[in-house]
Amino acid sequence: MRFDRIKTLLGDDFSRLEDAKILLLGVGGVGGFCLDCLVRSGISDITIVDFDSFDESNQNRQLLSELHLGESKVESFKKHYPNIKIINEKIDEIWVEEFDFDEFDLVLDAIDDTKAKLALAQKCYKKLISSFGSAKRLDPTKIKVDDIWKSYGDKFGSKIRYELRKRGFNKKYRVIFSSEEAKVKEKGSFMGVTASFGLAMCSEAVRILTKK
């Protein structure tokens, strides 16, 4: 009953979502909404990784932030989505190098650490969907999904592409990005865009899983 409507939409392909194993890195403004979308789409085997706790500055955009101020993000999400698995650790370059990604069908990157993002691309590009900058923007209709080398309009994405080229990396993987020019230099953010990045990431994950 719970998933009848998405089963109607996907037909027999829905079983591929039920069988999928997902690793979601970061459950902030982008990752939190991606997680909610994944769960509501019928994906039950989800592992989330984050080391942060909710603070007041998160409350304009991050799911659960007003309910669990000062609490661990992964522990808070576990209370609302009891079937998920959680890892309360900082995702940095060393963590990526040491972690075993083999058991997962997709790795969803909603972090903002440049070195960790570069390490992720090099280690698991075949199963990676990565989010670029969602802050400083107001128009969710400018969000796009494409391979890394076709992304544009984002200084953060430009830096990632530059650093990957320096490392001799030329493989393709999927990224979520915005073509909208940043409105401010500071870390301004709008939930209409950050949440939409997370929903776009979930949508791309569902698309890939049901096409296999």
Nearest alpha carbon to residue 34 among 197, 176, 208: 197
> Would you state the pLDDT for residue 121?
97
> Looking at residue 5, what is its pLDDT?
96
Pairing of the two strands 174-178 and 143-147:
antiparallel
**pLDDT tens by residue, the chain, 212 residues:** 899 999 999 999 999 999 999 999 999 999 999 999 999 999 999 999 999 999 999 899 999 999 999 999 999 999 999 999 999 999 999 999 999 999 999 999 999 999 999 999 999 999 999 999 898 899 999 999 999 999 998 899 999 999 999 999 999 999 999 999 888 988 899 999 999 999 999 999 999 999 86
pLDDT at 212: 63
Residue 20 is predicted with a pLDDT of 97
Domain boundaries, the chain: 4-132+189-211
What topology is assigned to 4-132+189-211 in CATH?
Answer: Rossmann fold (3.40.50)
| pLDDT value for 182 | 87
pLDDT of residue 163: 97
Q: How far is CA 200 from the centre of its chain?
A: 9
Please list the residues that pair with 145 across neighbouring strands: 176
Least Cα distance to 39 among 211, 212, 205 occurs for: 205
